[in-house]
Structure 1
């Protein structure tokens, strides 16, 4: 299979009749996006919304793209999916998947759905991947190699993605907040820009006037901070109970290493360290909880900075009411 190529999976029992188009009453244009911090319940809400619309969910998660990374990414098990779940399992763990590859493949899914009269539901917590799909964004081919680039590539090899990101955070905290640690090429570019006397954050602020590729409407799940942290703790414990350690060991045997993009994923990085004897599994579990809480805070910062999301307190109003509110809004013209 070519890198970035979608897998073709049977969707049973939730197979869609694409020729039949969307069900009566389904919105014809706007693309709904369900986002929120990890453990907020966005996957459940997106699935319920897709069921209501008779469509599929398109994952916008940078780590769910990897085959075999199921438990640690909270990927909905195949047997439990009630609607098709697209843009998962499209890359092997030893591949360096990118936002550019994701953009091309995910837009193919969205365009195919819209052409069939369906309205796909985008769902996930990776801000860059969502923006890559719904906004006009272009990605450099990375063809120019400079002395500065070579230096930072060497640092990335020695320090790892997180270490390089930490360096950027010390030199330019605003830029570091905008770039995910796993996006090594962009971290390298931000460091290069600092050497040139420029800031990625300043450039980003000038370019981030959103130029929509689709008429996307974003809903974010609102969860009280204490409740969110409780859910994160519970989710991590459940991952260990469901076989996270065994999953990581199996992937390591298949080529997963810590200095790869997939190997830097929260949960996988820490368990790989434990399997290498660098810490205990209990210590790995604690680190996963801490890092997941930090990641959730970054996701919330991204959502607030983006400014387009409409917030839903699903726990207060219930999933059915939240779905109804989204469907009602999708049927209305966009506010000026």
Structure 2
């Protein structure tokens, strides 16, 4: 019998954090963050990091684990998250992966190869950032001229596999399609995969309000502090939405009002890409927050997990 693993995801600002905390309390669970910005220390406001008081109520993992000066790969996330899952299960508790970074989630619940050999961290980081910036279709198109079989067989939404294929060719000069591939969904967990959704207009309004709240809470001051510590636009951490736009403002390349509007627009675009990403996995169950209350959602998930 496989151990249970819950995934609670959805677009930015949809309300994952609050629901994941309630769920963890309900089922004796612990939360593993799947957020590519919350891994960084000193980047609290722009990443909408879980408040400390809530982290004390329910154990949270993979938050504040590295300096914003450092790079971090999906392979490293997979390794750390897998260790946390095993630890949580060993203590008779249920791991809940909560967050909106699809690459992180796929690294755990899809059987993807992260062998230590033939790995180029800088190139992988470049491709991961390119996926965030220009989308999965753009990165997938890079396969067309170097590995036709992989281009035809790998779905554009399966960015982890696309990135791996590009990385393998970059290092070895051989098509990824010539290497052995595993069954994508053959993983050692009993997966309960939920994605929260809501009316797009309502979601966009929530995103806009969240950005305004972040600015009121001191997002600009947070970026100024990071800049004073030596953080710049070349760092992986400072490519995050909210940080790159305000760095541009601090460099006198735009006005503050325009920078804030760019944060809102980029956040809305990111939410759109997130929704597209989650649709690729047939295991996902969608839950519409316009129809169901948090209490109803909580009861549904709890009942399914306990059955």
Which TM-score applies when normalising by structure 1? 0.75
Q: Residues 72-221 of structure 1: matches in 2 within 5 Å?
A: 72-81=46-55, 82-141=57-116, 143=118, 161-162=129-130, 166=134, 168=139, 178-179=158-159, 189=167, 192=170, 209-221=184-196
Which residue of structure 2 aligns with residue 18 of structure 1? none
Which residue of structure 2 aligns with residue 298 of structure 1? 273
Contact 1:161–1:259, Cα closer than 8 Å, also in 2: no
Cα deviation, 1:228-260, whole Å, max 9, x if unaligned, reads 111111111111111111111111222322112
CA distance in 1: counterparts of 2:119 and 2:78, whole angstroms: 22
Of 46, 51, 63, 2:37 maps to: 63
When structure 1 is superposed on structure 2, of 95-104 and 134-143 the one drifting more is: 134-143
Q: How many residues align?
A: 291
Which residue of structure 2 aligns with residue 249 of structure 1? 224
Which residue of structure 2 aligns with residue 42 of structure 1? 16
Q: Which runs of 5+ in 1 are unaligned?
A: 1-27
Aligned: 1:266 with 2:241: yes
Contact 1:56–1:84, Cα closer than 8 Å, also in 2: yes
CA distance in 1: counterparts of 2:23 and 2:220, whole angstroms: 33
CA distance in 1: counterparts of 2:165 and 2:277, whole angstroms: 17
Aligned: 1:329 with 2:304: yes
Which residue of structure 1 aligns with residue 147 of structure 2? none
CA distance in 2: counterparts of 1:300 and 1:263, whole angstroms: 24
Contact 2:111–2:183, Cα closer than 8 Å, also in 1: no
Contact 2:6–2:95, Cα closer than 8 Å, also in 1: yes
Contact 1:65–1:89, Cα closer than 8 Å, also in 2: yes
Q: Give the 3 Å change call, closer, same or farther, for CA 224–265 of structure 1 in structure 2.
A: same
When structure 1 is superposed on structure 2, of 308-317 and 162-171 the one drifting more is: 162-171
Contact 2:157–2:280, Cα closer than 8 Å, also in 1: no
CA distance in 2: counterparts of 1:245 and 1:120, whole angstroms: 34
Contact 2:112–2:184, Cα closer than 8 Å, also in 1: no
Q: CA deviation at 1:110?
A: 1.2
CA distance in 1: counterparts of 2:283 and 2:89, whole angstroms: 22
Which residue of structure 1 aligns with residue 148 of structure 2? none
Q: Secondary structure at the match of 2:189?
A: coil
Which TM-score applies when normalising by structure 2? 0.82
Aligned: 1:222 with 2:197: yes
Q: CA deviation at 1:104?
A: 1.3
Q: Which runs of 5+ in 2 are unaligned?
A: 145-150
Contact 2:4–2:95, Cα closer than 8 Å, also in 1: no
CA distance in 1: counterparts of 2:270 and 2:211, whole angstroms: 13
Q: Give the 3 Å change call, closer, same or farther, for CA 261–114 of structure 1 in structure 2.
A: same
Q: CA deviation at 1:128?
A: 1.2
Q: Give the 3 Å change call, closer, same or farther, for CA 328–262 of structure 1 in structure 2.
A: same
Q: Give the 3 Å change call, closer, same or farther, for CA 217–164 of structure 1 in structure 2.
A: closer
Of 28, 32, 43, 2:6 maps to: 32
Q: CA deviation at 1:192?
A: 4.6
